Amino acid sequence: MPIALITGASSGIGRATAVVLAKAGFSLILTGRRRERLEEVARQLASTPTHLLVFDVRDQAATEAALAGLPTEFADIDVLINNAGNAHGLGPIQEGSVADWDAMLDGNVKGLLYVSRAVLPGMTQRQRGHVINIGSIAGHEAYPNGNVYCASKAAVAMLSKSMRLDLLPHGVRVAEVNPGAVQTEFAQVRFKGDEERAAAVYKGFQPLTAEDVADVIGFMVTRPPHVNIAEVLLLPAAQASTMHFRREG
């Protein structure tokens, strides 16, 4: 069975992707910070070989230690889904929280790098592999008060392109999925648990679901080895840009 590693697998897009890839016949390495959530996912996928790793991708030492300690049967990773990330706060740059900035840059950029650095040597040695980085429409179009989050996802976009160049000689495919509005825990985290403000983000239109994004990821990683769907922009039908929505009511 091919092996897929999914970061941020305890909820949202990561969790939905685990379900899709399990159905596609993958063994799974699921990582996240919340063990109880990962164990819930593992129970849901009881018939799928699954290995759980609890660590924070922002912690380089913990990331390296966790991935270096994989059991032999999970060591040869075929697919890496760099999904872990976050958004914190929404305000003008001159009023931004440095703690929020650090959390976004450490999670969205450095976390992706730490995990990739630990996994890619094995892929290049085996001369095969597939990396999918979860970006955002915000990495391609800025919006007011999105400043550092947009910058972090723009970094993911450029890293994806650079990784594709660097890994081309080694037969490793690199792709990026850029969702628009997806209704997950994303907005609740951004607004520090303010559920009313989070719900307002999706008011008046039907957003994407985590399962919508996971279906696309599943399609991408099951293409023949000579095919690489390098970049996907995935929007709800009611969204045309970061700031343009067709809302009803």
Instruction: Give me 155's structure tokens.
Output: 């970094």
For residue 249, is pLDDT > 80? Answer: no
> Is residue 149 flagged as an active site residue?
yes
Four-CA torsion 215, 83, 5, 62, nearest 10 degrees: -170
What whole-number distance in Å separates Cα of residue 16 and Cα of residue 36?
16
**Long-range pairs for 91-99 at CB < 8 Å and ≥24 separation?**
91/145, 92/144, 92/145, 92/147, 93/147, 93/148, 96/147, 96/148
> Is 150's pLDDT higher than 80?
yes
pLDDT digits (tens, 9 = 90+) for 90-146: 999 999 999 999 999 999 999 999 999 999 999 999 999 999 999 999 999 999 999
Q: From CA 181, how far away is CA 187, in angstroms rounded? A: 10
Given the residues 114, 143, 149, 202, select the one marked as catalytic: 149
Which domains can be identified in the chain, with CATH numbers?
A: 3-234 (3.40.50.720)
Q: Mean pLDDT throughout 222-249?
A: 96
Strands 3-6 and 79-82: parallel
Here the tokens at position 210 are 């985590």
Residues of the chain above pLDDT 90, percent: 92
Assess whether pLDDT exceeds 80 at residue 22: yes
**DSSP structural state of residue 1:** -
Closest C-alpha to 209, from 15, 32, 3, 10: 15
What pTM does this model have?
0.96
Do 183 and 212 meet the contact criterion of CB atoms below 8 Å apart?
no
- Give residue 154's pLDDT: 98
